[in-house]
Amino acid sequence: MKSRVRVLFVGPEPADASLLELVLGREHPTAEVVHVANPMSFGRELERGEFDLLVCDEALDWARSTTVLVEARRRCPSATVVIMGGEGGLEATREGAAEIVLSKSSAAFLELPALLEAALERRRAEDSADRLSPRIRGLLERSRVGVFRLALDGRLLEADETFLRILGARSLEEAQQLDLAGLTPKLPRGFTESGKVYKREQRLESVDGRDLWVAVTEVVGLDEDGLVVLDGLLEDIDDRKRTTEDLSSEASKLAKSNQDLSLFASVAAHELKEPLRTIEQSTRLLLEEAGVELEGEAARSAEHLVEGVGRLQSMIEGLLTLARFGGGQEWVESCDCNQIVEEVLAELKGPIDDSGAKVRVRPLPTVHADPTQLALLFRNLFSNAIRFRGEAPPRIRVSARQDGEQWIFAVEDEGVGIAPERAEKIFDRFTRGDDGGAGLGLAISKQVVERHGGRIWVESEPGEGATFFFTLPLSASGGSQSDGTPSAEPPSGASEGAGGRRG
């Protein structure tokens, strides 16, 4: 906005100009009030530049006030024009030369400071819009967003260059030949609610006959004649939409492929189990019938054959488990970890009794999880603690504590331990321990934990046992039954001694 405030008074009386300067000086002391009383000074002041407020006395003796104001409006279209008078003022407003008509009185002069402030505020808004408009236009062009106006019958009334470029049109007239009825929302009969906004994505046909995706935002408004129109933005989203469709198609193909692969794995596993079972049974029968006659290398080979069949069966089951849980959580619900651990330990009663394991379980929280996968996680960790024990019977401790927005579970044993350099590798698939297992238990455990938004790791030293930690988000928990302190007695079903649980 220009730095100075300029007010032009057109009238025969210098006293009126002085009164105007006096009333404006209280609120706008720097305002320049210029008085013109003849056509020469009027033309000269218009040449000097813009003014913010023009006040004209209807009673001019050198021209019709309406004629003077029409010229002033032509030369300074952004100024606020006030005419003081009667019939001439009404005529000036009808012809658009003046905006405000006041009766010529002292009270009317007192209204002028507020009118000047309103004029200055409008000028500030216009200047701000003028500065912002090129940036908005550049942003719309770079974003491939066009501006348009439609009649309610779908006729294109106005459009900018970006709109025309999106549709491949060289002119407004060429764009008007397109079928743009799809841009018009279905409005109720007689609907004229100004300001209503409509948004949608749809296909349009371009000038060259190509279908393209656009995003449309429209606002119901009124034009200069009071007719209902639609002012809108048209964004070119064709590349993005087609990429999304391609990704969706590929995802569907991948899902179908995974489903076929899972079915094939199930069938293959079923077909493999029977010959493996036959090999195992035949070998055991051979060992029983041969008895002491089968000695040395032949006996060891037969035993290795039985062990290899067992490992292969374990590997098949592990691979099927990975495939089954690879798609995410099957059923998420509120799970009491105390109950899940108790059920898992009951399933492992045989190995626990055989090894003499003792399990101590501190109170555990209730979490939001897939109970089947959570049970599998505890089963794998308990089985590992029993399998990789030292000379003494296994001693296993299970606990959980809250840490910020997560639960940290710990399954601690006093077994053979793990070398630090293998602490991460043991969670990889087919990383077997010294017992020759399939090497899938910890890989499955890691996948289960990560599917629930947590992580799993181990802290250990060779010969000093191992502690497996895993986290579950607190936000997905259904409540806590653990304060992180040891319980005086193990919960029911988790007592120390034979038949206890191991984790």
228 burial type by CB count under 10 A (0-12 exposed, 13-18 middle, 19+ buried)? middle
Q: What is the pLDDT of residues 125-178, one digit of tens each?
A: 666 655 655 665 666 666 678 889 988 888 899 888 888 888 999 898 999 988
Q: What pLDDT was estimated at residue 132? A: 54
Q: What pLDDT was estimated at residue 406? A: 93
Range 34-41 contact pairs with CB under 8 angstroms and sequence separation of 24 or more: 34/6, 34/7, 34/8, 34/9, 35/9, 35/11, 36/8, 36/9, 36/10, 37/10, 37/11, 37/12, 38/62, 39/63
Q: What pLDDT was estimated at residue 209? A: 87
Q: What pLDDT was estimated at residue 95? A: 67
* Residue at token pair 């043991």: 426
Q: What pLDDT was estimated at residue 201? A: 87
Regions of the chain short of the pLDDT cut 50: 1, 328-329, 434-438, 476, 478-503
Global confidence as pTM: 0.43
DSSP H helices in 435-501:
441-451
Q: What pLDDT was estimated at residue 123? A: 76
List Cβ neighbours of 35 (8 Å cut-off, separation of 6 or more).
9, 11, 14, 17
- What order of strands is seen across the sheet that includes strand 156-159? 156-159, 145-151, 228-236, 211-222, 197-205
* Whether 122 contacts 99, CB under 8 Å: no
